[in-house]
Chain A
């Protein structure tokens, strides 16, 4: 299984969160919202021109900025 970023994940696909690059602060913030290691997420869409990425985590829909999505590594 290959590790890819949320940006590279295709819309409509499911994946597991395996790594968050960007330090403890970001990690804490995402953890509070339910994006933690081992969590299954699915990608809903990705806006062009470095736009945000929308994902579904459990019952929550979350939008995250392009550069933040880049730092979330997932495995399909």
Chain B
């Protein structure tokens, strides 16, 4: 009996979209190879049976070349063939390359259903596919689908049980490609047509001169839009809501509770000049929601709009080409830019995504550099708020320091660690323009994820801080660290509390800097230290899972050293 359905196919053919359609479980999908690095599971009811559906990372063949592919192939080998069906998903616009894995699966005796996905794209690319012909040649069911819109998915479900093993002689790759050539001749017809504007853009973005220009343009525009949208939302939506609607409510509560009570201290926090100050009161119902919803969330929103567009259009792999030679100096290759960009949203998906890299060495370097030198969007939003009010110069300064840390630390790691950096080898997807609702779903999914995961920790963080403040536990801790903090970093001793709280959540930690009355220089150093020192605890858990204890200890050691060096250099290096 079938009890497992595996979705298998080349990278970037839309497996995760098919998966979402089959199971109703939302899986992240984008237009670049390697979006799925973990195994996602869901269920599909076929007749009387509830069958497990498993979305696997993409692979070109059954011989894995990266950690993500290894994951896909090993789980396949561990399941008895008579208990599973493989839905082999193919990109209809690229039948030839996709058939390689299909033939390999059939030769190995797996029960296969072939799903020709993205069939809507064949039309404007001048491709006509004969799926009946293909079915008779391959000897397994072949169904055309367009998973983004849902076309053909029903038929796919109906025919899953028809999956069969078709014994074919085993061949080597040379013979396999020859056979594919013959299949293509029979099942695919091409009509000639002129280059479209989109194809011209596709080519320009991977040619040296125009590619670099476009790259600079895209990065600059992205940054500007993220800041513009974020600031706009803060000034025109979030701040008015908090100041005009929420504040009067809390003020009434403050009066009822009475300023001196314990509950007032926890919920409302301190009154600043007799009033509630959302940025400084540090209460569970004042500063905590303000940080999350009025300072961080607007940027989470604007960041993920831009990231999602870049992902779905398919620009990111092109950025990888442009940055390949720089990243080589750091022991990585161009594709490492994808985990890095994801890391700018949140370090956790960034570090998980390092699985698209080939070697353990690369994954160590990339994970370490992400956790040290890539601040998550929550922390960046706080840095904008803390330093942006003085001058954009200081904000740029933080990024400059991070960039220098990246280059220096990466170069050192590349020099010290044994091994070499593998070469870039990636498929560059065509540009795609997904329907707007698909994009909205994705952004909604990410923001929901942020709210569900971040808010409880933020509340917990602020609660923890408030209780410790109330019982004056911090005085003891800050006393111990005082020589280090003020002697080496030139910061008041209370800053250590913020730095330590950074272990719980970075945005809360940055928020704790607000009431301290720091000078610009101190604020700059403290904000930079939050960015370069160790990441939050959730990231540590993922690092432990991905790197193992030994490498985590190494990485932690690097984090401490980096934080120390950066703090001291900035303190004694900056004159004003």
Chain A residues in contact with chain B, CB under 8 A? 11, 28-34, 36-37, 39, 44-52, 54, 57-68
Contact = CB atoms under 8 A, between A and B. Distances in A.
B428 A61 contact: yes
A46 B97 CA distance: 23
B173 A28 contact: yes
19 contacts: A29-B60, A31-B100, A31-B177, A44-B206, A46-B208, A47-B208, A47-B211, A47-B321, A47-B324, A50-B328, A52-B424, A54-B207, A58-B97, A59-B93, A61-B206, A65-B324, A66-B423, A67-B423, A68-B425
B interface secondary structure, majority: helix
Interface string B384-401: 000000000000000000
B65 A29 contact: yes
Nearest to A39: B177
* Chain A to chain B: the 7 pairs with minimum beta-carbon distance, closest first: A65-B423, A32-B61, A32-B60, A68-B423, A65-B424, A61-B428, A34-B97
Nearest to B94: A59
Interface string B144-186: 0000000000000000000000000000011001000000000
A23 to B, nearest CB: 13
Given A32-B61, A45-B207, A51-B208, A64 B425 contact: yes
Given A29-B65, A32-B60, A45 B425 contact: no
Given A32-B101, A52-B334, A65-B422, 17 more contacts: A31-B100, A32-B60, A32-B100, A37-B174, A44-B207, A47-B208, A47-B211, A51-B208, A59-B96, A60-B94, A60-B427, A62-B428, A63-B424, A63-B428, A64-B423, A64-B424, A68-B425
A31 B425 contact: no
B208 A28 contact: no
Interface in B13-48: none
Contacts of B426: 62-63
B333 interface: yes
Given A48-B208, A58-B94, A63 B325 contact: no
B108 interface: no
Contacts of A33: 60, 97, 425, 427
A34 B321 CA distance: 20
